[in-house]
Amino acid sequence: MIDLPKGASILILIDADNIGSYQGIELLFKQLQFHRGLMIKRAYGDWFAAQLKGWQSVLTEYEIEPIHSLPTPTSGKNATDIKLVIDAMDLLHSHEIDYFCIVSSDRDFTPLVRRLKQSGRIVIGIGKQNSASILKNAYHQFINFDELANFNDSTASQPTLQLVSGTNNSSTKTAKQTNSKTFTKELLEITQTAYKNVTSNCGWVTVGQLETHLNQLCQQKLKQSFSCKLFGCNSLVQVLNKVGVFEWDSKQPDGTNTKNKRLRLKQAA
């Protein structure tokens, strides 16, 4: 099954003109059928085209909203791409979307992927095996659509949406291991560096002070804005607790504003 955090919201944008086959789409939504978070599903294409005739049952069964694009005199591709990009940016600003999933092998979406990542969103790609490397590497994770389309319900090792650091994974098991080790290490490095940027004597700092430096460091190291979701957390306090190297000021009164809460590196006993 696709592994998403409980309650996470996901936007799935499908470039049907580019993908053509709907078989992998069926499996994708079967794996997501038990997810209870917000899920927006849209498929873009020329729905009068012969190659998309088989999609009707899939659109109906999985409640995917079809967005029609009239072909241009040269190609129907550009109109579809533009509509998908506009919707992605509109929904980025109008909804609290945690995961963006783009189903396409079109390298023209690379700037969109980078823009979404800069806004602190987790971006997953599903596309064909021969997709351009520049597109694959732009995503947090790229899932081979051709392999996904060949899976069936009895397949034991199905790919999962696990966050990785902008690289293409050929093995789900390796992806999970890399994700856990890499992001735990990066989280530790980033938070400790942010702390040292605020104070040089291991004194108390506020959550608000750390947050400012975390944003700067994420842009430098991860090339995107800091987001608690990147590290599987819902708040900055959870992120700082996850690191395990900080202690909180127990003398502060209950109800202290989160940004004013104080912490420091754990002191030796």
Q: 153 and 115 in one domain?
A: yes
Residue 80: inside a domain, yes or no? yes
Mean pLDDT value across the chain = 78
**What mean pLDDT comes out for the span 123-131?**
87
Residue 163: inside a domain, yes or no? yes
Neighbour-count burial of 250, counting CB atoms closer than 10 A to its CB (0-12 exposed, 13-18 middle, 19+ buried): exposed
Q: Per mean pLDDT, which of 152-156, 210-214, 264-268 is the most reliable?
A: 210-214
Q: 159 and 27 in one domain?
A: yes
**0.75 exceeded by the pTM?**
no
* pLDDT tens-digit readout, 77-107: 578 888 999 999 999 888 888 889 999 999 9
Residue 71: inside a domain, yes or no? yes
The reported pLDDT for the residue numbered 184 is 59
* Residue 144, C-beta contacts closer than 8 angstroms, at least 6 positions apart: 127, 128, 129, 159, 170
Q: 151 and 22 in one domain?
A: yes
Tokens of 210: 């750390």
Torsion, Cα 151 149 39 100, to 10 degrees, reads 110
Distance of CA 92 to the CA centre of its chain: 12
For residue 144, give its domain range: 10-170
The reported pLDDT for the residue numbered 201 is 76
Q: 163 and 53 in one domain?
A: yes
Of 1-15, 22-36, 120-134, 158-172, the poorest mean pLDDT is in: 158-172
Residue 137: inside a domain, yes or no? yes
CATH of the domain at 64: 3.40.50.1010
Residue 183: inside a domain, yes or no? yes
Choosing from 141, 170, 199, the residue where a domain stops is: 170
Tokens of 255: 């109800």
Choosing from 126, 141, 170, the residue where a domain stops is: 170
Residue 8 has pLDDT above 70, yes or no: yes
CATH of the domain at 231: 3.30.420.610
Residue 154: inside a domain, yes or no? yes
Q: 118 and 52 in one domain?
A: yes
Choosing from 170, 191, 224, the residue where a domain stops is: 170
Residue 17 has pLDDT above 70, yes or no: yes
Q: 86 and 50 in one domain?
A: yes
